[in-house]
Amino acid sequence: MAVTIEIDHARTRAKAAAATGQPVVPQAVKGPIRRLKWAILLLTLSINYVTPFLRWDRGANAPDQAVLLDFANGRLYAFFIELWPQDLYLVTGLLVLASTILILTNALGGRLWCGFACPQTVWTDLFLLVERLIEGDRRQRLKNIGTPLTAKRVIEIAAKHAAWLLISVATGGTLIFYFTDAPDLLRGFASGEISATVLTWILVFTGTTYGLAGFAREQVCTFMCPWPRLQGAIWDPEAYTVNYRDYRGEQRTSAKKAAELRLQGKPAGDCVDCGQCVAVCPIGIDIREGPNFACINCGLCVDACDGVMAKLGRPRGLIDYESWKNIERGRRAEPAVNRLVRPKTIGLTAACVALAGVITVAFGARTTASLSVQHDRDPVAVRLSNGSVRNAYTVKLLNKSASPHRYTLSVGGVTAKMAIVGNDALAPIEVAPDASESLRVTLTAPEHVQGDVVFTAREESGAAVLTARDKFVER
- Is 394 within 8 Å of 419 (Cβ atoms)? no
- 112-121, 252-261, 267-276 — most confident range: 112-121
pLDDT of residue 331: 93
Across the range 380-389, mean pLDDT stands at 87
Write down the pLDDT at residue 125: 96
| Local confidence band at 131 (pLDDT 50, 70, 90 cut-offs) | very high
pLDDT for the residue numbered 1: 46
Q: Give the bridge partners for 77, in sequence order.
A: 68, 82
- Could you give the percent of the chain with pLDDT greater than 90? 54
Rg (CA), the chain: 32
pLDDT of residue 195: 87
Please check the confidence at residue 282 and state whether its pLDDT lies above 50.
Answer: yes
Out of 19-23, 165-169, 370-374, which region has the weakest mean confidence (pLDDT)? 19-23
Q: Which residue has the higher pLDDT, 190 or 130?
A: 130
Instruction: Map out the domains of the chain with their CATH numbers.
Output: 1-24+234-335 (no CATH), 28-233 (no CATH), 369-472 (2.60.40.10)
What's the mean pLDDT when you consider all of the chain? 88
Q: What span, in angstroms and rounded, lies between the C-alpha atoms of 248 and 270?
A: 6
Q: Band of the pLDDT at 21, cuts 50, 70, 90? A: low
> Looking at the predicted structure, is the pLDDT value of residue 110 above 70?
yes
With a cut of 80, say whether residue 8 has pLDDT above it.
no
Q: Is residue 20 predicted with pLDDT exceeding 60?
A: no
At residue 17, the pLDDT reads 52
Give the pLDDT band of residue 396 (cuts 50, 70, 90): very high
Q: Cβ atoms within 10 A of the Cβ of 337, count? A: 10
Between 93-107, 312-326, 456-470, the lowest mean confidence (pLDDT) is in: 456-470
* Short-list 324, 287, 246, CA closest to 115: 287
The pLDDT value given to residue 18 = 46
pLDDT tens sequence across 62-105: 788 999 998 887 889 999 888 888 888 999 999 999 999 999 99
Lowest mean pLDDT among 1-10, 102-111, 160-169, 281-290: 1-10
* pLDDT (average), residues 112-127: 94
| Residue 87, pLDDT score | 85
Does residue 324 have a pLDDT over 70?
yes
Residue-wise pLDDT for 221-265, tens only, equals 888 888 877 876 788 899 999 999 999 988 888 888 888 887 887
Q: Span 29-46, mean pLDDT? A: 96
- Nearest CA-CA partner of 395 in 434, 431, 351: 431
Query: 22-26, 260-264, 277-281: which has the highest mean pLDDT?
Result: 277-281
pLDDT, residue 5, reads 55
Handedness of CA 103, 85, 66, 203 (dihedral sign): negative
Contact 264, 214 (CB under 8 A): no
**Three-state secondary structure string covering the chain:** CCCCCECHHHHHHHHHHHHHCCCCCCCCCCCHHHHHHHHHHHHHHHHHHHHHHCECCCCCCCCCECEEEECCCCEEEECCEEECHHHHHHHHHHHHHHHHHHHHHHHHHCCHHHHHHCHHHHHHHHHHHHHHHHHCCHHHHHHHCCCCCCHHHHHHHHHHHHHHHHHHHHHHHHHHHCCCCHHHHHHHHHHCCCCHHHHHHHHHHHHHHHHHHHHHCHHHHHHHCCCHHHHHHHCCCCCCEEEECHHHHCCCCCHHHHHHHHHCCCCCCCCCCCCHHHHCCCCCCCHHHCCECCCCCCCHHHHHHHHHHHHHCCCCCCEEEECHHHHHHHHCCCCCCCCCCCHHHHHHHHHHHHHHHHHHHHHHCCCCEEEEEEECCCCCCEECCCCCEEEEEEEEEEECCCCCEEEEEEEECCCCEEEECCECCCCCEEECCCEEEEEEEEEEECCCCCEEEEEEEEECCCCCEEEEEEEECCC
448 band by pLDDT with thresholds 50, 70 and 90 = confident
93 and 362 Cβ atoms separated by less than 8 Å = yes
